[in-house]
Amino acid sequence: MSETDPISPQVARGAGVIEAALPTLPLSPGVYRMLAASGDALYVGKARSLKKRVASYIQVARLPERLRRMVSETTSLEVVTTHTEAEALLLEANLIKRLKPRFNIVLRDDKSYPWLMLTEDHAFPRISKHRGAQDPKATYWGPFASAWAVNQTVTAMERLFLLRSCADTVFNARTRPCLLHQIKRCSAPCVGRISTEEYAKLVAQAKGFLSGKGASVQRELSAEMQAASENLEFERAAALRDRIRGLTHVQSSGVINPASLEDADVIALWQSAGQSCVQVFFIRGGRNNGNRAHFPTHSKSEEPGEVLSAFIAQFYDDKPPPPLILTNHAIEEMALVGEALSLKAGRRVELAVPQRGEKRAVVLHAETNAREALERKLAEATGQAKLLEGVAQLFGLAAPPERIETYDNSHIMGTNAYGVMVVAGPDGFRKNAYRKYGIRGPIAPGDDFAMMREVLERRFGRALKEADGAPPGDWPDLVLIDGGAGQFSAARAVLDDLGVNDVKLVAIAKGPDRDAGREWFHTGDAAPFQLPPRDPVLYYLQRLRDEAHRFAIGTHRAGRSKALVKSELDEIPGIGAVRKKALLHHFGSARGVKQAGLEDLQAAPGISREIARKVYAHFHPS
């Protein structure tokens, strides 16, 4: 857009808001947030000089169309100063990942990565898969791209080093070796088949292997095998030989197990049709820990270097970066990104774009995977678009729906009743938008109509209240409910009472004998109808209904399981999970706690005199 093009009043107003804030901005590094009238972040950016960087937004004629739209919606801005630009980059990545502003490149990755864990607080350490917060009493290796990748590594560690993988409760209860010992995947420390010293030696070898010292471990095993053979311990020598063969197989190099890389991440981007796929390969200790594809959201005009820069900063926001990161494109501000990651890791982190050799081959392999993953996604999106067009045509919508909400209930005779909402759109199911509604009642047991009314009232009533009566951004184009004419009428009455008249409502009733493929559709503006049994749109609607049913059943079962483990101890102030567990272990049951005297309660481990008095007073109010 040229500087002579007219500026719209909305853009001029937004630029005025930014200009008015300039006198208060410092020249120091920091992060700025452009905010909409609703208070939501429109854009998050970092700057070496906040005042100079923000001032560039008032030169609206020089801005690309995407940022002009952002300026037009800006009603206020906030800034946070930092000591350095590298710190600003880390803070920017954290805020973008958390706030997901519409005008930023956003990495939508809500999944956690599994790690390999070796416990250190037991005479016979256990090897296992781990997710979540890390225990300082354990050693971790990773991350791994998937549960499958870490499970494969656990199996390899069992075969190579005969480490146990069972839980401590199982370990303590064993009286004879388990099947893993029989198939030569465990040394059976639970029943004394190996001494503490010998097991510690296996643990040390495993740590060396996982830390990239596989060659030295192999030499050590070879020396042991030679010594066993010379001492005529042929059975032990054969066992060591099998372990060496397994170690050789695991260490075999190639494009997917590069010998020249110890600890590195290989990140490759491929762009097509205005979309990007970023493929990440994890290399740890010279082994490939798997790969995962990511699809960051961004405008179609973003260049590969911009996308990769934003991706890398956000990707390492919640995980430690390795010493080396290889990419297939030069990223924007590579030196600054490297400085920020080094600051986060507490050691040097190098970013490089290899041009030749094995490293280049690994990057090209990752690039091929990124291209193929994006091609699959685009093909799926094309098929999804056709299905949504069919849905729009079937139900008389003006355009293919961007957001479809499907509702269902689950309960057993009214107990542990839950309603759920699942959401789908052009990109498939949006699981981060799923919602659970614990039915509050009072509702008669089995009154599905009342349950559906409560769920819809809470979902749409709350949305309208938060948006001051106007349709919010997450407004559905189509609402599907599982049921027949009665369910449809109840749902329609709720939406009419709330003034929701711009949402298409459809009820899906099961066919004769509840056969899939013979469903009846109730829309209110036409007689109920059925679709041909092999209609692709029918299959799609069935999938939506079945996903809601699956989610409802799972939510109900989780709630029922939680209710089963509740006890009267949960009602006592100051009694959390740890103290509850201590009391139950000491007295055997909640009834035992109830019948215990004050002195008995004080004798329980972890229970102070004050807590004992609270527990006793709860059961003996007089």
pLDDT digits (tens, 9 = 90+) for 541-579: 999 999 998 988 888 777 666 654 556 676 777 777 778
Neighbours of 205 (CB within 10 A): 23
Which CATH number is 597's domain given?
1.10.150.20
102 Cβ neighbours under 8 A, 6+ residues apart: 42, 43, 70
379 has a pLDDT exceeding 90: no
Count of structural domains, the chain: 5
Q: Say if 492 falls within a structural domain.
A: yes
- 351 and 268 in one domain? yes
pLDDT digits (tens, 9 = 90+) for 429-438: 888 889 988 8
- 126 and 80 in one domain? no
Which CATH number is 309's domain given?
3.30.420.340
Of 217, 250, 283, the domain-final residue:
250
Residue 259 pLDDT: 60
Q: Say if 390 falls within a structural domain.
A: no
- 440 and 519 in one domain? yes
Q: Say if 257 falls within a structural domain.
A: no
Q: Say if 167 falls within a structural domain.
A: yes
Of the listed ranges 230-234, 262-266, 271-275, 434-438, the one predicted with least confidence = 230-234
Which of 113, 154, 125, 120 lies closest to 136 in space, CA to CA?
120
224 confidence band (pLDDT: 50, 70, 90): confident
- 524 and 409 in one domain? yes
Of the listed ranges 31-40, 75-84, 340-349, 568-577, the one predicted with least confidence = 568-577
- 270 and 236 in one domain? no
| Amino acid, res. 203 | V
Of 43, 75, 99, the domain-final residue:
99
Residue 482 pLDDT: 87
- 226 and 121 in one domain? yes
- 73 and 55 in one domain? yes
How far from the centroid of its chain's Cα atoms is residue 271's Cα? 24
Give the structural domain span for 424.
Answer: 404-562
- 580 and 553 in one domain? no
Residue 561 pLDDT: 62
1 has a pLDDT exceeding 50: no
- 216 and 302 in one domain? no
- Per-residue H/E/C for 256-286: CCCCCCCCEEEEEEEEECCEEEEEEEEEECC
29 Cβ neighbours under 8 A, 6+ residues apart: 46, 47, 48, 49, 50, 81, 82, 83, 84, 85, 87, 88
pLDDT digits (tens, 9 = 90+) for 592-619: 788 888 888 888 887 888 888 888 888 7
Residue 246 pLDDT: 62
Q: Say if 3 falls within a structural domain.
A: no
DSSP state for residue 441 in the 8-state scheme:
S
248 confidence band (pLDDT: 50, 70, 90): low
CA dihedral 499, 501, 503, 507 (to 10 degrees): 90
512 confidence band (pLDDT: 50, 70, 90): low
534 Cβ neighbours under 8 A, 6+ residues apart: 517
Neighbours of 437 (CB within 10 A): 19
Burial class (CB in 10 A: 0-12, 13-18, 19+), 615: buried
236 has a pLDDT exceeding 50: yes
DSSP per residue, 297-313: B--TT--HHHHHHHHHH
Of 525, 546, 562, the domain-final residue:
562
165 has a pLDDT exceeding 80: yes
Which CATH number is 57's domain given?
3.40.1440.10
CA-CA distance, 406 to 453, in Å (whole number)? 14
| Amino acid, res. 46 | K
- 292 and 246 in one domain? no
- 546 and 459 in one domain? yes
Q: Say if 553 falls within a structural domain.
A: yes
- 554 and 424 in one domain? yes
Of the listed ranges 17-31, 80-94, 449-463, the one predicted with least confidence = 449-463
258 has a pLDDT exceeding 50: yes
**Across 138-146, average pLDDT:** 86
Beta carbons of 161 and 180 less than 8 angstroms apart: no
Q: Say if 395 falls within a structural domain.
A: no
**Across 173-195, average pLDDT:** 89
**Across 276-282, average pLDDT:** 93
Residue 596 pLDDT: 82
196 has a pLDDT exceeding 70: yes
Taking each helix axis from N to C end, the angle separating 485-498 and 448-466, rounded to the nearest 10 degrees, works out to 30
Strand-pairing partners, residue 262, are: none
How far from the centroid of its chain's Cα atoms is residue 259's Cα? 31
For 327, the 3-state DSSP assignment is strand
How far from the centroid of its chain's Cα atoms is residue 620's Cα? 46
2 has a pLDDT exceeding 80: no
Q: Say if 386 falls within a structural domain.
A: no
What are the φ and ψ backbone dihedral angles of 422, each rounded to 5 degrees? -115, 150
